[in-house]
Amino acid sequence: MTKYGRLPSGIFIVYFSCGEIYQLGNERGGRVLSPKTLDFGSYIKECRQKKEMNISQLATAADISVAQISRIESGLRKTPKPQTLKALALALETDFEDLMRRAGYFD
């Protein structure tokens, strides 16, 4: 079964029954997104919102670009590097190992 949706960033996506997600509406064309990266990005966004931070505030606190955080939250950025996760964990006051696990580095 195919479903259609829209990410908070306004990007249209198509969900396929095989588990793949295809992004539409990008100036570079479509791309396959991993459900894991979407889930991780949603988790980061949820943590940021619980801390009542906007993307710019998180970017400043973590010393990461606003664009990169936006790509992480929307699932457009593949699994961030451990040093990026460490910076996010410190800025969001959350557990680094939990972020590593959620990003898929270990079970």
Residues linked to residue 21 through DSSP beta bridges, in sequence order: 15, 33
pLDDT tens, position by position, 91-104: 999 999 989 988 88
pLDDT tens, position by position, 2-35: 565 666 666 665 555 445 555 555 445 555 555 5
Domain 35-107: CATH class, spelled out:
mainly alpha
Cα-to-chain-centroid distance, residue 28:
19
> Where are the chain's structural domains?
1-33, 35-107
